[in-house]
């Protein structure tokens, strides 16, 4: 805004300065007779008076604008309304996601009380949406949590004799060397699964970016997640106050409060996680993410920690 003010005042000062400046012909005439001293004094006095008047007018404008309260719709002497920014300070729900701008959002609690505001880091909570990154992180997470305990028996592991069931020729039957083969009942399993890990490598930068993208969705910040009692009906009443919400994920900064854990354990649409266990898949399973102040600070510190290689 200061740049716009200075540019506008500079243009006005130049316009005033050009009023007292003579034309090109007058300048040539003054230059040709400057040695004789006939018009040089007049030219210098006119130029000095024009510059001085323009300077005084610009200084009065600076004093006028610098002592004015910069509020839209003020009385006479206020700052020009076209130079004031009309952009709201508080982020609205219909904001454009992915601008990497710091967000100023209101803080509340379970009783819907006003607890002030909190600034969310734009490089963590306002990242452009990348569906391909989310897909890769979810696949990595589901593959890593897979137990991989599946197992089948080979021919050396199934029970049974190892002798040849009948002779090779002369019986008219198909030739076989063992009754533990895959074609017999109770025999082995060919090319079956064995215990193994399904995890695959995914770069830490991609994992961190996936969590940032998931955090850029719908988010509510609570002052804390403390509840007075461990009754489930209190959580149900708090849940009913939230508009257009089906599943809620509560994230606290430290260990989960025992009262909150008891109050939510019978509700399939309300889940609780500590900040250290927050992950992309859990966020995507819920349409509303509620985090405490401590959880937000913990996540920001976690996202800003350099990656160890």
CB atoms within 10 A of CB 248: 21
> Residue 153 in 3-state DSSP?
coil
Domain annotation for the chain: domains and CATH numbers: 103-147+199-304 (3.40.1370.10), 149-196 (no CATH)
Q: Kindly give the pairing relationship between strand 117-120 and strand 103-108.
A: antiparallel
Which pLDDT does position 28 carry in this prediction? 43
Q: What is the pLDDT of residues 239-256, one digit of tens each?
A: 998 888 899 999 999 889
Q: How far apart are CA 121 and CA 297, in angstroms?
A: 10
Max CA distance (Å), the chain: 141
Answer whether 100's CB lies under 8 Å from 123's CB.
Answer: yes
> Residue 25 in 3-state DSSP?
helix
Q: Kindly give the pairing relationship between strand 270-274 and strand 248-252.
A: parallel
pTM beyond 0.75: no
Q: What is the pLDDT of residues 165-207, one digit of tens each?
A: 999 999 999 999 999 999 999 999 999 999 999 999 999 999 9
**Residue 223 — φ and ψ, nearest 5°?**
-65, -45
Residues 6 or more apart whose Cβ sits within 8 Å of residue 133:
206, 209, 210, 213
Give the mean pLDDT of 123-132: 92
């Amino acid at each position: 805004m200061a740049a716009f003010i200075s540019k506008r005042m500079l243009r006005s000062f130049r316009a005033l300065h050009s009023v007292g400046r003579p034309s090109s012909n007058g300048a040539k005439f003054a230059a040709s007779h400057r040695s004789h001293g006939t018009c040089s004094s007049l030219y210098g006095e006119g130029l000095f008076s024009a510059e001085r008047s323009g300077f005084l007018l610009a200084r009065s404008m600076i004093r006028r604008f610098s002592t004015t309260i910069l509020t839209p719709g003020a009385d006479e002497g206020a700052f020009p309304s076209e130079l004031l920014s009309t952009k709201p300070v508080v982020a609205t729900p219909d904001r454009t996601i992915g601008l990497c701008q710091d967000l100023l959002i209101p803080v509340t609690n379970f009783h819907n009380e006003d607890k002030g505001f909190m600034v969310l880091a734009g490089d963590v909570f306002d990242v452009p949406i990348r569906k391909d990154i989310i897909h890769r992180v979810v696949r990595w997470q589901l593959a890593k949590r897979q137990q991989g305990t599946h197992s089948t028996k080979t021919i050396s592991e199934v029970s049974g004799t190892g002798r040849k069931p009948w002779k090779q020729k002369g019986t008219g039957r198909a030739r076989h060397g063992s009754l533990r083969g895959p074609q017999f009942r109770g025999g082995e399993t060919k090319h079956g699964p064995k215990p193994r890990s399904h995890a695959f490598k995914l770069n830490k930068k991609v994992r961190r970016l996936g969590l940032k993208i998931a955090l850029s969705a719908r988010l509510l910040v609570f002052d804390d997640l403390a509840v007075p009692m461990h009754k489930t009906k209190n959580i149900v009443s708090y849940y009913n106050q939230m508009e257009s919400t089906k599943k809620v994920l509560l994230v606290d900064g430290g260990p989960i409060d025992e009262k909150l854990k008891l109050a939510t354990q019978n509700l399939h649409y309300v889940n609780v996680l500590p900040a250290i266990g927050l992950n992309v898949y859990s966020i995507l399973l819920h349409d509303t993410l509620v985090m405490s102040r401590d959880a937000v600070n913990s996540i920001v510190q976690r996202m800003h920690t350099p990656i160890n290689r």
